[in-house]
Structure formats: C-alpha cells, structure tokens
Amino acid sequence: MQIGRVSTAMITPFSPDGSIHFEMVAKLIEHLIATGTDSLVVCGTTGESPTLTSQEKEDLIRFTVETVNKRIPVIAGTGSNSTMASIELTKIAEETGVDGIMLVTPYYNKPDQRGMFEHFKTIANATNLPVLLYNIPGRSVVNMLPETVIKLSEVSNIQAIKEAGGNLEQMSDIIAGSLSDFDVYSGDDGLTLPLLSIGGAGVVSVASHVVGEDMQKLIKAFEEGRHQDAAIIHHAMLPLIRALFAKPNPVPVKYALGKLGLDVGSVRLPLVDMTIEEKQEFDLAWDQYELKRKNFN
C-alpha cells in the first residue's frame, strides 16, 4: 500500500440539507491532490464516519475512487467496534476498487489486547486489501499496545499503523520491534517531525487540508538533512495545528477550508459549528501563520 508521506484524512462536505455534497467532494479532491496530498483516507474520523449511514459510506467511497481515478491511492475507513460489520463494509469497499482499508481500534465495547488482535486479524484475513491500523485511545478509550501491533504486523496484509495516541515512546517501540516494511504514521499533525526523527513514515493529516504543501516542505527538508528548516516549519505550524483541534475535529478545518474558498458546509450533530468568538480566535492563529510561513516560502 503506497500511502506516501502525507495522507489526508478527508472531511466529508455536506449540503445545506445535510446530505453529502458530492460536487464539493470532487472539488476538495482536486484541491488536495494539487496541494501535496499523496493519498486519501475517506470515511475516517475526520470524515464524520459515525454519522454516515452504511449507504452513504458506500456511495462516498465509490465516488472518491472514481473521481481520483488512480491518480493517488484511496484508503477507506471500514473499521468499527463490530468485527462482522467491519468485514461487511470492507468487502463493499473492496468491490469499489479502493487501494486499502483503515481499521480503527474498537470503541465502546473496550476489548483487551487479545480481543483487539483477534478483531484485526479476522478482518485482515477476510480481505486481500492492504490494512492500515488506526490506534486512537482518546476516541476509542482502548490503547493498542506495541506488542499487539508488532504481532499484527506479521499478518501479511497488515502493512502500517496510524498512531494517534500522542506517545512517541510507544511509536518508537513499534518501529523498533516490527519488520522494516511495516510503516508507522503519526495521527497527530504536531508530531510529524518528531516521528520522522525516530524512523516514522509520515503523517495521516488533518492540517494538510489547508497546509498540505507546507507539510510536504517540512518532510522534504528533513529528508534532505535541512533539519533547521524543518524545525522552522514545525514551530510555525504548531499554533495553527492547535487551533485546528481547539474544537472537535473536523469543526475548525471545515471553517478553515471556507477561508480558502471551499464551502464544504457544516458538521452533523452532535457536532456544532464554532461560535463567532471561536472563529475570531481561529482567524488570529491563521493570520499569524500566514506571516510566519513567509520565512519558508
């Protein structure tokens, strides 16, 4: 599975009536490809997957695959806290022609490490698609430990993990203990550079919706040994990243896309849009970043 250095966890645009705005999905895809996204993750957390119906997920995955038309890889979020439901959606995604699937740690039912291992192994064995694991303790409550990930990395089509636990030590243990062809991606934009420094593969990003080119510049600078340049971009980007996550994801990034002329609509309940005051706070972080980025453009 060729995820690349910067994969975007794509938001789902909605029309005023709350339905998926497929015309805007197409425009967003073109924007992301043009601004440095190496691959797309559709129907993930940022895509508000908990509020999408099964039919909407199928329609969105199919539309994304058709619109991308093999220009970059498309990874479908098919994981849930039901193993059988995850397999069902995975088989549907496989039929649409996606390049891989992303499987989140099961939420709410709180499996132990053995349960998580069996869950992911069972889904992986039910498909020929490459698998990207997704560990996000802040949302799923359970934390998949490095030894479990390392054991899962021995399953032939489990090829990478998106680690969104914010724990560099845990990421380091996975990198050290897994085979060299198993990739570890940061699920936190702010940890992209630190993860690269310990052997990580890149980032599954939210910020890349609006600063994709700059994220690629950061990674390129690091890879070329221009570590000071990479650090300048990292430090400039951090306040904006914090602003992008100051409210529940993807509320701020949808607002930010509007500032770029992409009206991707509102969020679905139980999420709500930012207040006027919250938008003003975000605008301040945005304007400050625009000034800072002149130093590395």
Chain segment 241-281, per-residue pLDDT in tens: 999 999 999 999 999 999 999 999 999 999 999 999 999 99
Instruction: Say yes or no to pLDDT of 72 above 90.
Output: yes
Residue 12 has a pLDDT of 98
Instruction: Reply yes or no: is the peptide bond before residue 248 cis, omega within 30 of 0.
Output: no
Q: What would the two tokens of residue 104 be?
A: 């989140």
Q: What is the mean pLDDT of residues 56-75?
A: 98
So what's the pLDDT on residue 296? 75
Residue 10 near residue 40, CB atoms below 8 Å: yes
Nearest to 101 by CA among 24, 43, 47: 43
Mean pLDDT within 17-33: 98
Whole-number average pLDDT of the chain: 97
Checking if the pLDDT of 297 tops 70, the result is no
Res. 99: pLDDT tops 90: yes
pLDDT at 112 over 70: yes
Q: Answer yes or no: is pLDDT of 55 > 80.
A: yes
Q: How far is CA 221 from CA 208, 218, 289, in A?
A: 17, 5, 19
Rounded CA separation 165/162 (Å): 9
Q: What is the mean pLDDT of residues 17-31?
A: 98
pLDDT of residue 185: 98
6-228 CATH: 3.20.20.70
Q: Band the pLDDT of 120: cuts 50, 70, 90.
A: very high
**What per-residue confidence (pLDDT) applies to 79?**
98
**Which residue stretches of 153-275 are H helix?**
168-177, 192-197, 208-223, 227-244, 251-259
Q: How far apart are CA 35 and CA 145, in angstroms?
A: 34
**Cα–Cα distances in angstroms (integers) from residue 237 to residues 190, 210, 233, 234, in the given order:** 8, 11, 6, 5
User: What's the mean pLDDT in 206-222?
Assistant: 98
Give the pLDDT band (50/70/90) at residue 144. very high
Please work out, in degrees rounded to the nearest 5, the angle formed at the alpha carbon of residue 30 by the alpha carbons of 28 and 32: 70
**Mean pLDDT on 207-228:** 98
Q: Is the pLDDT assigned to residue 101 strictly greater than 70?
A: yes
Residue 288 tokens, joined? 């400050």
Is the pLDDT score of 196 beyond 90?
yes
Break the chain into its structural domains and give their ranges.
Answer: 6-228
Listed residue (93, 12, 76, 102) closest to 48, CA to CA: 12
In the block, residue with structure tokens 């938001």 = 11
Q: How many beta carbons lie within 10 A of that of residue 56, not counting itself?
A: 16
Residue with the bigger pLDDT between 234 and 2: it is 234
**pLDDT band with cut points at 50, 70 and 90 for residue 294:** confident
pLDDT at 115: 98
Instruction: Please report which confidence band the pLDDT of residue 287 belongs to, taking 50, 70 and 90 as the band edges.
Output: very high
Residue 209 scores a pLDDT above 70 = yes
**Contact (Cβ atoms closer than 8 angstroms) between residue 158 and residue 120:** yes
Are the C-beta atoms of 86 and 80 separated by less than 8 Å? yes
Nearest residue to 134 via CA among 248, 33, 49, 219: 49
Q: pTM of the full predicted structure? A: 0.96
What Rg do the C-alpha atoms of the chain give, in angstroms? 18
What residues are labeled active site?
134, 162
Q: How far is CA 295 from CA 23, 275, 279, in A?
A: 35, 31, 25
Q: Is the dihedral of CA 111, 116, 122, 124 positive or negative?
A: positive
> Could you check whether the bond before residue 73 is cis, i.e. omega within 30 degrees of 0?
no
Residues in the chain: 297
